Amino acid sequence: MSFPQSRMRRLRRTESLRALMRETAVTPGDLIHPIFLCPGIAVRRPVASMPGVFNLSIDEAVREAEEAARLGLGGLLLFGLPESKDELGSGAYDDEGIVQLGLRALKASPASKKLVLIADVCLCEYTNHGHCGKVIETADGWIVDNDPSLDLLARTAVSQAKAGADVVAPSDMMDGRVAAIRRALDAAGYQQTPILSYASKFASAFYGPFREAADSAPQFGDRKTYQMDGANLREALREISLDLEEGADMILMKPAMPYLDVIRAARELTGVPIGAYQVSGEYSMLQAAFQKGWLDPNRAILESLVSIRRAGADFIVTYFAKEAAKLLG
Ligand code: PBG
């Protein structure tokens, strides 16, 4: 049937009709709030390129968690800015490291009963060179050496699980790290700790503001030998399949908005839960437009999140989590 029998506008006439017809929903429980833990007490240091995002000392992070729980958010994703950095990123797998101390404090708070505490597993915030694995010199110059990095990443995940992480989320993009982490968790008695693998992570300009927030910019070179080329969809699907074979319980897709087609393809490939990360650059460009008065924040925030859910993500890591929950509530 076509016009005039069919009139698409009939079902758009009132807000209640539109609400009944709505195919995709975002709820606060779908949203994960990223936290950047830093040393000190009562520190709430703004990140210049990410208005509304802060480096938080552990006491402040506990307060933030209480607010997140009140707002009904799904969980927190924890990053750490260590006291000092070294060649091998030892702060990442130190049982007294910033994320481990933060996890213990958060676990002791009643808010943690309502939140999933996810720990990002990576070395780039902890290495003095800012790369996500071990760097070695070869005849052809420096490389990020895959296999020796696996043990460091696995130790990081075990140390985080021991400190109370509900989920570990490797974001380093070394080959074989999911299997190495699974093996190490099981051997240490953490068979019940799930792995959320950043299976499909592209080398993206949109991580720029994060590297200021996490102080994790590479001091030389870039991440293109381990993160994926943005042009490659088939490669992303191979990465996902391999991570699932290695034992990933869930996958995280990143960035989100410039890669919605990849999220959709992942949804069609697998039945495992899929998260998407609306990354720092996606947040900052929207914030910049809000500051200029060029976009309506309330509408643009929710529209961006609905688009990611519609593409097929079950949950979303987003710096708008608190804001969005307030709008939804
Ligand atoms: C660590 C990591 C990064 C992000 C999440 N985990 C930075 C990177 O890969 O350079 C980016 C998140 C964001 O931009 O919000 N490897």
What tens digit of pLDDT does each residue of 228-265 get?
999 999 999 999 999 999 999 999 999 999 999 999 99
Phi, psi dihedral angles at 167 (to 5 degrees): -145, 140
Give the CA radius of gyration of the chain. 20
- Is ligand 1 within 6 A of the CB of residue 278? no
Tens of pLDDT, residue by residue, the chain (329 residues): 999 999 999 999 999 999 999 999 999 999 999 999 999 999 999 999 999 999 999 999 999 999 999 999 999 999 999 999 999 999 999 999 999 999 999 999 999 999 999 999 999 999 999 999 999 999 999 999 999 999 999 999 999 999 999 999 999 999 999 999 999 999 999 999 999 999 999 999 999 999 999 999 999 999 999 999 999 999 999 999 999 999 999 999 999 999 999 999 999 999 999 999 999 999 999 999 999 999 999 999 999 999 999 999 999 999 999 999 999 98
Spacing, Cα 172 to ligand 1 middle (Å): 9
**Complete domains list, the chain, with CATH:** 25-328 (3.20.20.70)
Spacing, Cα 207 to ligand 1 middle (Å): 6
**Active-site residue (options: 113, 201, 322, 326):** 201
Handedness of CA 46, 52, 56, 60 (dihedral sign): positive
Share of the chain above pLDDT 70, in %: 100
Spacing, Cα 210 to ligand 1 middle (Å): 6
pLDDT of residue 262: 98
- Is ligand 1 within 6 A of the CB of residue 318? no
**Active-site residue (options: 134, 254, 322, 326):** 254
Structure-token match 């049937």, residue found: 1
114 is annotated as an active-site residue:
no
78: left (phi over 0), alpha (psi -120 to 50) or beta: beta
> Which amino acid makes up residue 38?
C
- CA 311 – CA 36 distance, rounded (Å): 28
292 is annotated as an active-site residue:
no
Specify the ligand 1 atom closest to the Cα of 280.
Answer: 15
pLDDT tens, residue by residue, 50-76:
999 999 999 999 999 999 999 999 999
